[in-house]
Homo-oligomer: A and B are copies of this chain.
Amino acid sequence: MAIKRTRNVTMTDVASHSGVSRTTVSFVLSNRENANIPDSTRRRVLEAVDALGYRPNAGAQALAAQKSDWYGLITEIVTAPFAVDIIKGVQDKAWDERKFVLIASSEGDQAMETAAIEKLLEQRVEGLIYATTWHRAVTLPPAALEVPTVLINCFDPEDRFPCVVPDEEIGGYRATKRLLDAGHSRIAFINLDPAMPAAIGRRAGYDRAHAEAGVTVDPDLVVYGHALADGGYDAAAALLDSASPPTAFFCGNDRMAMGAYDAVKEHGLRIPQDIAMVGFDNQEIISQFLRPRLTTVALPFEQMGAVGVTMLADLIAGAPLRTNRMLIDCPLLERASV
């Protein structure tokens, strides 16, 4: 465990080592124009930087320059899978803008969340991104008002913060249209809790697709399931046992589709020959590995993260936002279950 504890090398060290003033070192390192640094000097400085292993002190830089180059990201990291894609989208995009992302997890706990925001503000982040794992309304701690803030996958009921949310309606529309196009007319919709924005939007898309196709929606085919595999299983089994069963299922999420698969198989039916199935979320570990692989609608979290960063940058720059509520398209991913 040999730890090379380099004494903290500062610009002053670099300066004396290369025989110039600290100011000159600063000019060289910040590539300042109009500074008239001849190449010979520049080289001497850079060599000293290398030789001494100089590393700028970000805190001191931020203090002197009065800016931090950091964005803060608050997210529910426990509820796992989706948060990761948002983080990735945010981080990559931020990197493009030479910004870094300070991640704090909220764990759903309100007190901890407030503490996290405080900590980020103490780091003097230039802006805040608040992301949730499921589409919903949120109420942020008041501290968030102190700094430019963008919401991802959630929205402020009072509209004080701009947000990026998935276009649930188009997702529901795409899924349903795909099934209608495949010739199905009895399409069951195992939706999420009807109070959720996701459920409302997707239902609207389901209805619109039917309307455009001139097919009447049978209200008995639209049910609400517990949002896990069991919920999908139960709902699908009940529908298959009904007097006039559906020939296709549109499931509110991939987990329910996973349960529905089991119900279909246990009824001795084959996917997609006898029953077609479309999911939602594109939770890869499920949709990629179900047999047959599941056709589903993607929630483009990574893209949402990237768009969020762009909006935040505009907000910080004081640029006008095109919209306070950015809708992100949800594409259909064709696999093998239709």
Contacts and interface: CB of A to CB of B under 8 A. Distances in A.
A77 interface: yes
Contacts of A324: 1
A283 interface: yes
Interface stretch (A187-195, A272-280, A284-292, A330-338): A284-292
A55 B122 contact: yes
Interface in A60-80: 60, 62-63, 68, 77-78, 80
A122 B56 contact: yes
Given A59-B124, A84-B80, A233 B291 contact: yes
Interface string A299-338: 0000000000000000100000100100000000000000
Contacts of A62: 59
A121 to B, nearest CB: 6
A78 B84 contact: yes
Nearest to A82: B80
A118 interface: yes
User: Which among A161, A265, A285 has the greatest number of chain B C-beta atoms within 10 A?
Assistant: A285
A146 B119 CA distance: 26
A12 interface: no
A81 interface: yes
A264 interface: no
Nearest to A118: B55
Nearest to A148: B3
A87 interface: yes
Contacts of A161: 1
A77 B84 contact: yes
Nearest to A321: B1
A7 to B, nearest CB: 11
A255 B59 contact: no
Nearest to A60: B63
B289 A255 contact: yes
Contacts of A4: 145-146
B88 A78 contact: yes
B59 A285 contact: no
A51 interface: no
Nearest to A57: B124
22 contacts: A1-B162, A1-B321, A3-B145, A3-B147, A3-B148, A4-B146, A55-B121, A57-B63, A58-B59, A58-B123, A60-B63, A77-B87, A78-B84, A80-B80, A81-B81, A84-B84, A229-B289, A229-B291, A255-B285, A255-B289, A259-B291, A262-B291
Interface of A: 1-6, 53, 55-60, 62-63, 68, 77-78, 80-81, 83-85, 87-88, 91, 100, 102-103, 105, 107, 118-119, 121-124, 145-149, 160-162, 228-230, 233, 255, 258-259, 262, 265, 283, 285-286, 288-289, 291, 315, 321, 324
